[in-house]
Structure formats: structure tokens, C-alpha cells
A and B are shown apart, each in its own frame.
Chain A
Amino acid sequence: MIGIHEDEARRLALAALFAVVLALGMAALMPGAQAAESRTLLNVSYDPTRELYQALNESFARQWKAKSGEDLKINQSHGGSGKQARSVIDGLEADVVTLALAYDIDAIADKAKLLDAGWQKRLAYNSSPYTSTIVFLVRKGNPKQVKDWGDLVKPGVSVITPNPKTSGGARWNYLAAWGYALDRNNGDAAKAEAFVAALFKNVPVLDSGARGSTVTFAQRGLGDVLLAWENEAHLALKEFGSGFEIVTPSLSILAEPPVAVVDKVVDKRGTRAVAQAYLDFLYTPEAQEIIARNFYRPRDPDVVKTTQGIFAPVKLFTIDDVFGGWTKAQTAHFADGGVFDRITAKK
């Protein structure tokens, strides 16, 4: 008899223990359950903005605390722009998205209906609080004398760029080259295609992302020119030292990485006010200065003036002017069977 009682008691104890562990586990998994009084925001962004948003978040959290008394913790998620957009579509609860291409936020609006199609009109400057452009990183002394896009198609010049099919940044590279060729050939699309095809003939490796290409160029010693975002080129200069220099071409593309509040998520989580304030903050002089210090080009005219020394002058064209927007550029150039497939198949 005693044996049975002991057995039952042990079972009960085990069951109780199991219940406690289960409850603890559930509590840990429940978002926001453990810290109801302090607010969190999730900013889903793309790869090279990690350092930028670290600096911005700190500054905004301080301002928000002063204004509302609330402790704010902003979580960051970084990855390839397209992959990040897919995560949000599949249910990652991003309060705000700050991605590399409008096309990726369009996909969130279109596939998951988490925000409406007119999102890009909501904030100033196409909802892009900062811009960048595509520049060249070359080896010290510029041994191949690369000055402009035209030099990239010369035989014997090896160019490193990521794969436009997998990397948002690489699509800017490709379109920048295309825009330059159009400009030099009076808008002749066939000549532009021939130019870009010749350029990609000089590409020995297509990495899947921008950081991978930077490593291939800077650490593996491959290639004479790296096509890179201006901010990435500056970072590479800072990180890999004096073996490189930046060449700014005569004409390049205005890269406008856009930001947006994800309506359905902020309404569900009750974070609309703070999410909106966060994005508005990006346009303030304080944030614009942080942006410039992280080598993104600011929008605020006053900040532009004070930070002129950082950025070389370059004539810029927009994707809307030359390609009629992202969706059109995507379908014509990067979709399966598009121009990029055509020129790389010719190899």
C-alpha cells in the first residue's frame, strides 16, 4: 500500500513539475508577457544598416524617454532585403520595415496586405530619409586607372559585384551601369544592354550578397574594382585599411532605401504612435547627422551643407526617371527570362 502511495505521490510531483516547466516555457515564448511596462519596437532592416540603426536607436530611445517617460527598446533584425521582406510576409511582426528596395516593401503590401499600396507617398522624399549611390572601390593607386563606368568594360579589368538575382544592392549596381550607358548612347536600350553584358563578362564571381562581395574583393584579393554602395565602400575603407581607394563615377544612380510603418502590426500591438514617431525622427537634423556620419547621404538641406566634405560630388539619376519605378525595373531586368538572364546566358 505504502508503495502505491509513494508511487502516486511521485507521479503527482512529476506532473506538477512538468506543468510548471511548461508554464515557464510558454511565458518565455509569449511576446511582451515578461515586460509589459517597457515598450518594444521591431525594426526589420537589411544587412549594411546594422551600425547605422544602432546609433539611431540609442538617440531615439533617449528622446522618447524624455517625451513620454516610457522605456523603449528597439530590436533590430538584419539580413538580405528580400529575405527580410519574406520573413515579414510569413509573420515576423515588424513594427517598421527599413529595406533596400521599394520593391520589397511593395511585396509586403501586395502579398500580405500588411500596409496599403500607397505607402511610399506617406513620408517625405519617397519615404527615404537617406540616400546612397553606387561607387567603385579600387586598389591603392588605382593600377587599372578606373575612372568611370566606361573603364569597367575594358578587357582585363575584373569587376566584383554580387548577384542581382539574390542581392538588392546588386540591383542598384546593375541599374546604375545601365543608366550610365543609356545616358552615353542617347537612350539606346540595345547599346545599354550590350554595355551591361560586356560589364558582366568581366565579373568572375557573383556572390549572393553585398558583404560577401566586399570580402571577395578586400580579403580574397579578387578583382580590380568592387561595385559598392557608397556607405559600404567607406566602411570597407575604415575596416580593411589603406589598401584601397574610392572612385566616384561621373554619373550614378540615386539609391533610395525606403522606410514604412507596417499598419496591421502596429495596430495589433498598439505601437502606432511610437513607430510613427520613430520614422519621423529619421528626418530630424539630429538623426540626419548620425546618418551622414554613417556615410549615408542625408536629405536635410542644412545637414547636407555641413557634411559636404564626406561625399564626393556626383550627378545622380533616379530609378523613377530612367526605369519608371522598381516594379517595372524588376520585371524587365531581374525576373526570370529578363534582361539579366539573357545577358548572362550569352556567356
Chain B
Amino acid sequence: MGAVAAFALSLPRRVPSVIPGFGPTMGLTLAYLSLIVLLPLAALVIKAAGTTWSQWGAIVTDARVLSALGLSFGAALVAALINAVFGLLVAWVLVRYPFPGRRLVDAVVDLPFALPTAVAGIALTALYAPNGWIGSVLEPLGVKVAFTPLGVVVAMVFIGLPFVVRTVEPVLHDVDLELEEAAASLGADRLQTFLKVILPSILPSLLTGFSLSLASAVGEYGSVIFIAGNLPGVSEIAPLLIVTKLEQYDYVGATAIATLMLAISFTLLLVVNLLQKWRRGRMGG
């Protein structure tokens, strides 16, 4: 009897869908995605298509462009790593420990999503400027945050935090406490339990949060522009260079940088996706 049941369960089953009609919903999905995402991106690529490859290459390999791209992607990477660590911590605390005011803390996590980015930038600059609350403490220690690349990282950490918390939280919620108890009863210490039991199950969502945080930080303009100092070659982000080109009515130059950023971001997201797939394959899940 048990064997029959197990066999029946192992047979592939057609999962009944909640939304009826695959055809219409798929059609709608594709049309919607095309209109909202693909069409604007296509317009961007078509605008850039007016340049030859050598022109395009000359624009994007300019020393100033390279340094701005380096800052944008470098700072975004650092910010995403910080978010991955501390976002996980925040999610952990929110899921595992009931404490007074938890709902409030939970709501605070979403604030960077809700706040207009320019407002965030101005507020952060006010805090970290040499005469601001935090800046005035750091300044005597020789740490300059506002108007340096470090300020760029701070702004990117701010806007990227909710991505990690919100993607990790539900998964962490689903991790069975019993698994941890089992691990403990088999003699694993807490670090082992975390590394071998908990981390593998939340890693995919952590990676997703990381890549979302990274992607949004790369393109971030509003909050970064106020705190960055915008000095050429030092604290100038790539989106600012795009604005600079537009200010000269140089649409070609602006789209050239934009397409390169798009390509890099897309590649990064793809790599993260592949990593996840590879990991899932190894886990046999």
C-alpha cells in the first residue's frame, strides 16, 4: 500500500493553474512586457545604432567614462555585498525573534522604496556632510563620507537594503526549525548548522536580493548625485556622464554609455541566474 502511494506520488502530475487560460494570460504578459520594458530598451538601442562600432568604442573607452563606470559598478558591488550581509541579518531578526515594535521595524525597511530618491540623497548628505550629525563625528577621525566615493556607497546601500530583506524574509520563514533541531541533535554546532542547513536553503533568494540591489544601485541617480561630489575621475558616476552628454545635446554619446551600462547589468543578472541554476543542479533540487 505504502509503495503504491509512493509510486503514485512520484508520477508527474499536471498542476491545476489558478489563473484560467494559458493562452490569453501569456499573450497579455508578452504584450505588457514589450510595451513597458522591451519597447523603451529597443528605442535606446536603435538610437545608439546610429553610431558605428568604432565611434561607440571611442566613446565608451574614454578615460573619464571608464573611471565613472568603474565607480558606478564598483560602488554598487560593494553596496550589494554590504546589503547581502546586513540585509540577511535584518531579515533573520525580523523572522526569528518576536520583539516589541517588530511591525514598525518591518515597515521601516520599506522606506527606501517609498522615499523619492532625491529626498533620500539630500537627507543622507545632510547627515554625512562635515557639519552633519554623523559627518561631524567621523570628520575628526579623518573619515570623509559625503562628497567622496564612500558617500556613493552609502547612498547605494540605503536604496538597496529592502531588496535583500524582502527576498530573503519569506524563504527564511519557511525554513523548518525542526531541521535545525535535527542538526543540533546530531552534534552540529551553531555555525555548522547555519552554514550547512540554513544557508543552502536561503542562498538562492539571497543571490536574487543581491543582484536586485546591485542592478538598482548601478543606475541610481537621484540619491547618489547629491552625496557624490561629482569630481571628474574621482566621484563621478556613470549616470551623471549620461546627463552631461545630454546637456550638450549629444544624444549619441549618452545612448552609447547607456547601452554599455545596460549590457553590463544584463550580463551580471544573467551570471547570477546561471549561478543559481548551477547551484540548484548540484543540490539536485
Contact = CB atoms under 8 A, between A and B. Distances in A.
B155 to A, nearest CB: 14
A204 interface: yes
Taking residues whose C-beta sits less than 8 angstroms from the other chain, chain B's interface range is 20 to 34
Interface stretch (A14-22, A48-56, A135-143, A218-226): A218-226
A315 interface: no
Interface in B53-78: 62-64
A78 B231 CA distance: 26
A166 B243 contact: yes
B82 interface: no
Interface string B124-135: 011001111000
Given A82-B246, A165-B247, A166-B244, A208 B225 contact: yes
A250 interface: no
Contact of B240 (A111, A204, A208, A347): A208
A154 B48 CA distance: 44
Contacts of A111: 249
B181 interface: no
B250 A336 contact: yes
A335 B248 contact: yes
Contacts of A330: 248
Contacts of B64: 341, 345
A205 B147 contact: yes
B233 A220 contact: no
A198 interface: no
A336 B240 contact: no
A86 B250 contact: no
A311 B2 CA distance: 97
A208 B243 contact: yes
A207 B235 CA distance: 11
Contacts, number: 75
B116 interface: no
B246 A204 contact: no
A98 to B, nearest CB: 18
A83 B248 CA distance: 10
Contact of A166 (B129, B231, B247): B247
A60 to B, nearest CB: 31
A163 interface: yes
A222 B126 CA distance: 11
Interface string B231-262: 11110000010011111111001000000000
A205 B229 contact: yes
Interface residues of A, number: 30
A345 B249 contact: no
A308 interface: no
B210 interface: no
A150 interface: no
Nearest to A337: B62
B249 A207 contact: no
A244 interface: no
B223 interface: no
Given A219-B126, A220-B129, A222-B129, A207 B230 contact: yes
A251 interface: no
Contacts of B163: none
A215 B147 CA distance: 14
Interface string A81-123: 0110010010000000000000000010001000000000000
Contacts of A335: 248
A107 B231 contact: no
A157 B240 CA distance: 27
Contacts of B243: 166, 208
A89 B247 CA distance: 13
B248 A206 contact: no
A334 interface: yes
Contacts of A212: 226
Given A107-B249, A336-B248, A222 B130 contact: yes
Which of B62, B225, B231, B240: most chain A CB closer than 10 A?
B231
B57 to A, nearest CB: 15
Contact of A345 (B63, B126, B132, B230): B63
Most chain B CB atoms below 10 A, which of A86, A205, A347:
A205
Interface string A283-319: 0000000000000000000000000000000000000
B56 to A, nearest CB: 14
A344 B235 CA distance: 12
Given A165-B247, A166-B240, A221-B130, A206 B230 contact: yes
B140 to A, nearest CB: 15
Given A206-B230, A220-B126, A86 B63 contact: no
Interface in A208-248: 208, 212, 215, 219-222
Interface in B15-58: none
Contact of B230 (A86, A205, A220): A205
A219 B129 CA distance: 10
Contacts of A208: 225, 230, 240, 243
A7 to B, nearest CB: 17
Interface of B: 62-64, 122, 125-126, 129-132, 146-147, 225-226, 229-234, 240, 243-250, 253
27 contacts: A83-B247, A86-B246, A86-B249, A89-B249, A165-B244, A165-B248, A166-B243, A203-B231, A204-B231, A205-B230, A206-B229, A206-B230, A206-B232, A207-B230, A208-B230, A208-B243, A219-B126, A220-B130, A221-B129, A221-B130, A222-B147, A335-B248, A336-B245, A336-B253, A341-B64, A344-B232, A347-B231
Given A204-B229, A344-B233, 15 more contacts: A80-B247, A82-B246, A166-B244, A204-B147, A204-B231, A206-B229, A208-B225, A220-B129, A220-B132, A221-B130, A221-B131, A222-B130, A222-B147, A341-B232, A345-B64
